Amino acid sequence: MPRPKKQKQGPDLFAIFNAEMIDRSKPIAPQVYDVLRNAITRYELPPESQINEPELANTLGVSRTPLRQAYQKLAEEELIISRPQVGSIVAPIDNKKIREGIIIRRALEREVVRILCETSPSLTDLDPILAVLRVAMKNKDAVGYFNADQEFHQKLAELADIPAAWRLSMSVKGHSDRARLHLMIKNSARLERAYNEHLELIGAISTGDIESAEAIINRHVSATTDAYRQSN
């Protein structure tokens, strides 16, 4: 009779998570989702690593119910998958899903910038986010830059009065986010290029130049596909 395969040891969850990450005065499940998604994106939970559900619940100090709700959402985004006799693992790298996420995000954000060019809202809400991006760029802080970049693009959708565009983008771009942050960590020069594209985009929106704004957002979002293809 063949011997059972030895399971891979999962990541040290206590080194990644702690109970202080969760604000008990707010809904628990969305916070668990956020900390898990962030850990997957930052490769703290590497592709194909096993996640011990009871251990994670204990580490975060939460019950299994909100944890399973977070798992379900991550499974819908195909960032977590279930394997027989193994349990939940972080999804492996999938180039098709990276490309798919970028294509959908690009289409959504192109519509966002078109609306902004047509409606000309005040863009002053972007100023504090740009300040954070600039500091992260100068410090070569890829994770800090990535987080502020997410906020920047979410704010664009809100200013265009279609916040659902960002939520839909988030639901499909988990794999491309993972690739994008990995590239930013490997090459900090990408931070400056992305920051300058933000400034170009704001300039185009401010003057109502739809054609330029769409070209900038196409180039900005597509950069991940081009760079990731070259690195593999």
**Same domain? 38 vs 110:** no
Contact 137, 184 (CB under 8 A): no
Point out the domain boundary residue: 56, 90, 124.
90
In a domain, 99, yes or no: yes
**Same domain? 40 vs 150:** no
Residues listed for the chain: 232
Model pTM? 0.88
**Same domain? 58 vs 156:** no
**Same domain? 70 vs 116:** no
In a domain, 5, yes or no: no
Range of the structural domain that residue 141 is part of = 95-231
In a domain, 4, yes or no: no
Matching residue, tokens 């593999």:
232
The dihedrals phi and psi of 74, each to the nearest 5 degrees, come to -65, -35
In a domain, 200, yes or no: yes
Please give the sequence-ordered ranges of beta strands (E in DSSP) within the chain, or none if there are none. Answer: 80-83, 87-90
**pLDDT given at position 10:** 74
**Same domain? 214 vs 104:** yes
Point out the domain boundary residue: 90, 112, 136.
90
Walk along the chain (232 residues) and give the pLDDT tens digit of each residue.
344 444 456 788 989 999 999 999 999 999 999 999 999 999 999 999 999 889 999 999 999 999 999 999 999 999 999 888 778 999 999 999 999 999 999 999 999 999 999 999 999 999 999 999 999 999 999 999 999 999 999 999 999 999 999 999 999 999 999 999 999 999 999 999 999 999 999 999 999 999 999 999 999 999 887 666 665 5
**pLDDT given at position 87:** 84
In a domain, 19, yes or no: yes
In a domain, 185, yes or no: yes
Point out the domain boundary residue: 90, 109, 143.
90
**pLDDT given at position 4:** 40
**Same domain? 43 vs 101:** no
Q: What is the CATH number of the domain that holds 138?
A: 1.20.120.530
25 CB-near residues (< 8 Å, 6+ apart): none
DSSP classification of residue 43: T
Contact 126, 152 (CB under 8 A): yes
**pLDDT given at position 11:** 87
**Same domain? 39 vs 84:** yes
**pLDDT given at position 218:** 96
**Same domain? 124 vs 34:** no
